[in-house]
Amino acid sequence: MSNCIIAQSGGPTSVINSSVVGLIKANEELKLYDKVYGGLNGIEGILNKKIIDLSAKSEEELNTFTYTPSSGLGSCRYKLKPLEESTEEYDKLLNILSELNIEAFFYIGGNDSMDTTAKLSKYAKENGLNIKFIGIPKTIDNDLMYTDHTPGFGSAAKFIATSVLETYLDSSVYTNNGIFIIETMGRDTGWLAASACCAKINGKQVADFIYLPERAFDTEKFLKDVKEKFEEQNQVYIVASEGLRTADGKFLTELVCVSQDTFGHVQLGGVSQYLRSLILNSGITKRVKSLELGVLQRCAMHCASNIDIEEAYLAGYEALKYAKDNKNGSMVAIKREGNHPYKTSFFEVDASKIANNVKYFPTEWINEEGNNVTLEAYEYFSPLFEGTPSLCFENNLPKYKVFNK
């Protein structure tokens, strides 16, 4: 008997569960493994033997699970110790996998998860163990190298663009409107904030300014731009990434950020409030509102992209095919074949090449002033928003299913 296991790691997305179902369905068709296990709470849960049999789940449960946001198997931010420091955790994990006759381990995640995938693959090979480790991409930040985009990003970007449209209209109802600032996620890159360029009314972009981490933030220029725009139209709409930095590389909110996650990343948030304070202190106007979108960006299934759900599913399906082809230490990546019509394909990339690298928003897609994006950005984003999922409903609310409770 041979089995496989799949687990989720890092921050959730709206479509992460679709990748799990894609892998389960691929195994039903290809009949590669006897059982598909699910590791609850990622590596951390597997080390504690929190494992369930996903093969035993009903068709109805899996269908509902597909259209459930967030990590339905639970997640973790667990960092394995460096191999040169200790092999204890690696040996324990591999022993647990061997006890369950696991021949393939699938890990859904971002940069840190691909680092874990690469390390485990290398260690298993060095110790002659017949276990394949394959990565399935996931991150709303869209910051993984080589892949055109990541499952989860399209839905987050669609939610952002939709929220920008709706809040723009809400902030435009008076004869004397003020300044509205919306803050998106995006620690190191501006992909999420830039997607706001898709929010248009009568063909005109509603965001007056879009600020990304890829350009150093200049307070003096920011206030000058905002003042001029406000005097021109008595209203300003601003989109800002949480990861905005000064010319010396410091986060705008770094002085007030004191918490870190288990990977040592400063936990951000509060840029919109910081910008609001700058504007108020400058005396441009007292009518300034700010909104931090927060975790809504990664769990708003009601505003998800159907294309995103489908690609997440296919990434899981493709990952099982990689195991069938005896690939190891690889990640499934997406290649964009064209925009009109939109078409993609999948290809293999070494997980070690993804690990600890960042795909930045192209600087050539940022305007010369550094306060907006170009038409190329719009053309990149817009195909990713296609379609709306058909959710299951119960008592007039979405019906969701998770397996980690």
Average pLDDT over residues 256-280: 73
The confidence score (pLDDT) of residue 1 equals: 83
The confidence score (pLDDT) of residue 258 equals: 45
Residue 25: count of CB within 10 angstroms of its CB: 18
Q: With beta carbons less than 8 A apart as the criterion, state whether 118 and 168 touch.
A: no
Which helix or strand (DSSP H or E) is residue 163 part of?
helix 153-170
The confidence score (pLDDT) of residue 81 equals: 84
Average pLDDT over residues 213-241: 97
Q: Above 90 in pLDDT, residue 82?
A: no
Catalytic residues, which ones?
A: 141
Q: Above 50 in pLDDT, residue 29?
A: yes
Q: With beta carbons less than 8 A apart as the criterion, state whether 40 and 51 touch.
A: yes
Torsion of CA 113, 114, 117, 120, to 10 degrees: -90
Q: Above 60 in pLDDT, residue 20?
A: yes
